[in-house]
Structure 1
Amino acid sequence: MTPLTYFTLVLALGIAAQWLAWKCKLPSILVLLAFGFGLGHFTGATIDDYLVGNNVLLSAVGLCVAVILFEGGLTLKFSDLRESGTPVLRLCTLGVAISFFLTYAVSRYWLGFDWRVASLLGAILVVTGPTVIAPLLRHIKPSKKVGNVVKWEGIVIDPIGAILAVLVYQVAIAGNVDAAREEIFQALGLTLLVGVVMAFILAKVIEFMLKHHLIPDYLHSVFLLAVTAAAFAASNAIQVESGLLTCTVLGIVLANQKSVSVKHILEFKENLRVLIISVLFIVLSGRVNVTELNQALLPGLG
Structure 2
Amino acid sequence: MTIIQHIYWVFAAASALVLVGIASSVIARRFGAPLLLVFLVIGMLAGADGPGGIAFDDYSGAYELGSLALAIILFDGGLRTRFATVRRVLAPTMLLATVGVLLSAILTGFAASWLLQLDSMTGFLVGAVVASTDAAAVLFLLRAGGLQLRERVGATLEIESSANDPAAILLTMLLVQYVTSPAGLSPLALVQEFVVEFGIGGIAGVIGGGAIARGLNRLQLDHALSALFALAAAVLVFGITGQLHGSGFLAVYVAGLMVGNRVSGGLTNLLGTLDAATWLCQIAMFLVLGLLASPRLLLESLLPALGVAAFLMFVGRPLAVVACLAPLRRYGKREIAFISWIGLRGAVGIFLASIPMLAQLPHAQLVFNVAFVVVLVSLLVQGWTLGLAARLFDVALPHRERAVRRVELDLPGSLERELVGYPVAAEARILGGASLPGWAQLTMVVRGGEILTTAEADSLMPGDYAYLLAPPGRVYRLDWLFAPPEEASEAERELFGEFSLDADVRLGDVADFYGLPVRPKDAPLTLAEHFARRFEHTIEVGDRVRLGPVTLVARELSDEGVAKVGFKIESFGKALARPARLVDGVARLLGRR
- Note the C-alpha offset of 1:110: 3.5
Q: Alpha carbon RMSD of aligned pairs, Å?
A: 2.7
Residues 283 and 93 (structure 1), Cα distance of their counterparts in 2 relative to 1, 3 Å cut:
closer
Contact 2:62 / 2:288 at 8 angstroms: preserved in 1?
no
Partner residue in 2 for 1:92: 97
Contact 2:216 / 2:263 at 8 angstroms: preserved in 1?
no
Alignment of 1:232 onto 2:238: yes
Contact 1:25 / 1:139 at 8 angstroms: preserved in 2?
no
Partner residue in 1 for 2:517: none
Contact 1:18 / 1:278 at 8 angstroms: preserved in 2?
no
- Note the C-alpha offset of 1:35: 1.9
- Note the C-alpha offset of 1:176: 7.5
Partner residue in 1 for 2:134: 129
Partner residue in 2 for 1:288: 293
Partner residue in 1 for 2:24: 17
Q: Identity across aligned pairs (percent)?
A: 25
Alignment of 1:45 onto 2:54: yes
Residues 212 and 27 (structure 1), Cα distance of their counterparts in 2 relative to 1, 3 Å cut:
same
**Per-residue CA distance 1:47-70 (angstroms, 9 max, x = gap):** 44xxxx532221111100000000
- Note the C-alpha offset of 1:231: 1.8
- Note the C-alpha offset of 1:37: 2.0
**Paired letter, 2:238:** F
Higher mean alpha-carbon deviation, 146-155 vs 8-17, is at 8-17
Partners of 1:137 and 1:226 in 2: CA distance:
28
Higher mean alpha-carbon deviation, 257-266 vs 154-163, is at 257-266
Partner residue in 2 for 1:269: 274
User: Which protein shows a greater Rg?
Assistant: 2
Counterpart secondary structure, 1:212: helix
Counterpart secondary structure, 2:219: coil
Partner residue in 2 for 1:163: 170
Counterpart secondary structure, 2:186: helix
Counterpart secondary structure, 1:42: coil
Residues 117 and 258 (structure 1), Cα distance of their counterparts in 2 relative to 1, 3 Å cut:
same
Unaligned runs of 5+ in 1: none
Residues 91 and 204 (structure 1), Cα distance of their counterparts in 2 relative to 1, 3 Å cut:
closer
Once the two structures are superposed, the pairs formed by residues 58-137 of structure 1 within 5 Å of their partners are 58-81=63-86, 83-137=88-142
Residues 45 and 258 (structure 1), Cα distance of their counterparts in 2 relative to 1, 3 Å cut:
closer
Contact 1:104 / 1:118 at 8 angstroms: preserved in 2?
yes
- Of the three residues 161, 169, 179, the one matched with 1:172 is 179
Partner residue in 1 for 2:221: 215
Contact 1:15 / 1:278 at 8 angstroms: preserved in 2?
no
**Per-residue CA distance 1:34-90 (angstroms, 9 max, x = gap):** 222222200110444xxxx53222111110000000001111112124554454244
Partners of 1:289 and 1:13 in 2: CA distance:
20
Q: What number of residue pairs does the alignment pair up? A: 296
Contact 1:72 / 1:251 at 8 angstroms: preserved in 2?
yes
Residues 290 and 3 (structure 1), Cα distance of their counterparts in 2 relative to 1, 3 Å cut:
same
Contact 2:110 / 2:124 at 8 angstroms: preserved in 1?
no
Q: Which has the higher contact order (CA 8 A, sep 6+)?
A: 1
Contact 1:199 / 1:246 at 8 angstroms: preserved in 2?
yes
TM-score (norm 2): 0.46
- Note the C-alpha offset of 1:266: 1.2
Partners of 1:28 and 1:202 in 2: CA distance:
33
Partners of 1:69 and 1:195 in 2: CA distance:
13
Alignment of 1:194 onto 2:200: yes
Partner residue in 2 for 1:205: 211
Contact 1:22 / 1:28 at 8 angstroms: preserved in 2?
yes
Unaligned runs of 5+ in 2: 1-5, 308-593
Contact 2:226 / 2:270 at 8 angstroms: preserved in 1?
yes
**Paired letter, 1:43:** G
Higher mean alpha-carbon deviation, 128-137 vs 83-92, is at 83-92
Contact 1:14 / 1:279 at 8 angstroms: preserved in 2?
no
Partners of 1:39 and 1:237 in 2: CA distance:
36
**Paired letter, 1:162:** I
Partner residue in 2 for 1:30: 37
Residues 243 and 112 (structure 1), Cα distance of their counterparts in 2 relative to 1, 3 Å cut:
same
- Note the C-alpha offset of 1:271: 2.4
Partners of 1:139 and 1:21 in 2: CA distance:
11
- Of the three residues 233, 247, 252, the one matched with 1:247 is 252
- Note the C-alpha offset of 1:183: 5.6
Higher strand share: 2
Partners of 1:170 and 1:299 in 2: CA distance:
26
Residues 225 and 18 (structure 1), Cα distance of their counterparts in 2 relative to 1, 3 Å cut:
farther
Contact 2:17 / 2:42 at 8 angstroms: preserved in 1?
no
- Note the C-alpha offset of 1:136: 2.1
Contact 1:207 / 1:260 at 8 angstroms: preserved in 2?
no
Partners of 1:203 and 1:178 in 2: CA distance:
32
Counterpart secondary structure, 2:81: coil
Residues 167 and 287 (structure 1), Cα distance of their counterparts in 2 relative to 1, 3 Å cut:
closer
Partner residue in 1 for 2:360: none
**Paired letter, 1:285:** G
**Per-residue CA distance 1:119-161 (angstroms, 9 max, x = gap):** 2222221111223222222234241422222111110010111
Once the two structures are superposed, the pairs formed by residues 147-162 of structure 1 within 5 Å of their partners are 147-162=154-169
**Paired letter, 2:175:** V
